[in-house]
Structure 1
Amino acid sequence: MRHWPSRRWWVAVATALFTVVFIAIPTDLIDTPLFSREIPPTGWSWPVLILSAVLAGLVTATYVAHPAGATSSRAAGRAGMAGWLVTFFAVGCPVCNKLVLLALGTTGAMQFFEPVQPYLAAASIVLLIWALYARMTREYSCRLPARADAAAEVPDLVH
């Protein structure tokens, strides 16, 4: 990362800031008149959000002007997006989330979803770290050219 151009760092910072605002406003970590929260945020909500935002910014930056010939991984991209989405559920109010309320009801959200939120937070961070690792390790790799004699080794089954 120390060899990254400034453009990548700007994308990382912009994405991290966007992530904080995009998640903190609807989960009411940033108090606005648009959203409210029935249960106060946990002490780990902000640290998880900030760490996830930084990781999401770094993962996004790996997509900016990567070297020619570098291979990309769809799995890493999916893991990064999943980590970003899981962060939203991890730091949100358990009884304010409409999807959770529809699935579990208020009592179910408090009994089942709230205790799972720390694990969701850990999962989001693990997914984002894995996505960043996968993107970084493949960044300077390139595909090997196909061997000319490999085609000759495959038997011709069609006559």
Structure 2
Amino acid sequence: MNIPGAFTELRTWPARRRMIAGGVSALVVGALVVAAGTVGFAGGSVTFPGSWWGYLVVAAGSGLVGLIVAGYFDAPIGAAATMCDLRWPVLGVISLYLSTDLRTTVPLLAEFVRPVVAVAAIALLVWALLERLASEYRAVADRDRSEMAGADGEVCTTCRPLFPNSSGR
């Protein structure tokens, strides 16, 4: 599956997945803004003490996290979300926080390192989204092939399901 093909899969998502993506994105933006201190209140007015690229990174990264998390819901059989799928989005959000943190008096990352970490976080989240979409694509393609051949599909026995009681589609 190529990159343009992966993003065209997003057009076929049902409304429920799109709403989940929007809600998760809003929650991630809110959490990052509050935790990192990128929006402040001084003298009764709202201030934005961060650099301009930090706000773009938070918006793009939270959108990607929303899409990744929405991909866990209503996944086709064979592409069900597992606990292993959580590590990359969580690492991406932590990297976004570290690259935009303004609350601490002594930041963990130097000023010149922050943009590099931010770009790496966005790249990680794009990769995680592409992997999620590719696993769904493979599950549907394998199911179509196995139905035609009459064979059983593969089953992962090492990963714990994220939603153990849901049965997929």
Instruction: Provide the TM-score with structure 2 as the length reference.
Output: 0.67
Which of 21, 29, 34 is the aligned partner of 2:38? 29
Aligned to 1:86: 95
For the pair 1:128 / 2:125, whether they are aligned, the reply is yes
In structure 1, the residue matched to 2:116 is 119
The answer for the alignment partner of 1:154 in structure 2 is none
Q: Does 1:145 align with 2:142?
A: no
- Structure 1 contact 27–92 (Cα < 8 Å) conserved: yes
* Count of aligned residue pairs for this structure pair: 130
- 1:26 deviates by 2.4
Q: Per the alignment, do residues 6 and 117 of structure 1 end up closer, same or farther by CA in structure 2, a change over 3 Å counting?
A: same
User: SS where residue 22 of structure 2 aligns?
Assistant: helix
Q: Tell me how far apart the structure 2 counterparts of residues 73 and 141 of structure 1 sit (CA, whole Å).
A: 16
Distance 1:59 1:118, change over 3 A: same
Aligned to 1:6: 15
Q: What amino acid sits opposite 1:69 in the alignment?
A: G
Q: Write the distance in 2 (CA, Å) between the matches of 1:77 and 1:131.
A: 10
Mapped partners of 2:84, 2:130: distance in 1: 12
Which string of whole-angstrom CA distances, capped at 9 and with x for unpartnered residues, describes residues 57-76 of structure 1? 00011001111222556654
Q: After TM superposition, where is structure 1 displaced by more than 3 Å over at least 4 residues in a row?
A: 71-76, 142-147
Structure 1 residue runs without a partner (length 5+): 34-38, 148-159
Preserved contact between residue 39 and residue 49 of structure 2 (Cα < 8 Å): no
Q: Out of 65, 76, 84, which is 2:74 matched to? A: 65
Aligned-residue sequence identity (percent) comes to: 26
Q: TM-score, normalised by structure 1?
A: 0.71
Say if 1:128 and 1:68 are closer, same or farther in 2 by CA, change over 3 A: same
